A = this chain, B = another copy of it.
Amino acid sequence: MTGRSDDRPTPSLEDYLEAIAELKAEGGKATVTALGKVIGVKKPSVHSAMKKLVEAGLVTHEKYGDVRLTPAGARIADEVCRRHKALLSFLANILMVDPTIAEQDACKMEHALSEESIHRLEKYISFVRECYPGSPEWGDIFDRYVDQGRDERTIPDGDGVRH
């Protein structure tokens, strides 16, 4: 009863599924070279990854053709994308981490979080959004807090992190 099909593909394979979905979403074809560029690996690496995904029944890939997600593959790709979006939103909009770094971190964390945690994170994000509707102060307040260590009054707490 822990969580449904928690037999996730490996992080690497999840990345490939995500990239395939991404390319399709942009109206393009998921070719071996395109995937290689998106993910940052060489063509033969993509090829062998596709072999594994085909075996797992997550994509179809005819010789010299493009790659397509099966329903099962699409479902997983959506899941990964959902995790990515939630993490990115939290990092960028709530923690207000630099967008580039937030993106990098989301890419890595999206493979590490359980379904339960992501579920609650999504809820938390919308909860915060609804409880502080469009509050423009929020960013400033938290930003000052991060830089100074306290809200208004400056009382150094000496935790060593300074920057």
User: In which size bucket is the chain A interface?
Assistant: 35 or more
Question: Is A146 in contact with chain B by the CB < 8 A criterion?
Answer: yes
* Bound Cα distance from A140 to B161, whole angstroms: 33
Chain B residues within 8 Å of A111, by CB: 108
Whether B115 lies near A112 (C-beta < 8 A) is no
User: Could you tell me the dominant secondary structure of chain A's interface residues?
Assistant: helix
Could you say which of A24-32, A47-55, A122-130 contacts chain B? A122-130
Whether B121 lies near A113 (C-beta < 8 A) is no
State which of B101, B117, B123, B149 has its C-beta within 8 Å of the C-beta of A117: B101
Minimal beta-carbon separation of A142 from chain B (angstroms): 6
Whether B101 lies near A116 (C-beta < 8 A) is yes
Residue of B nearest to A122 (CB): B161
6 closest Cβ contacts across the A-B interface?
A108-B112, A95-B120, A123-B146, A109-B112, A97-B117, A105-B117
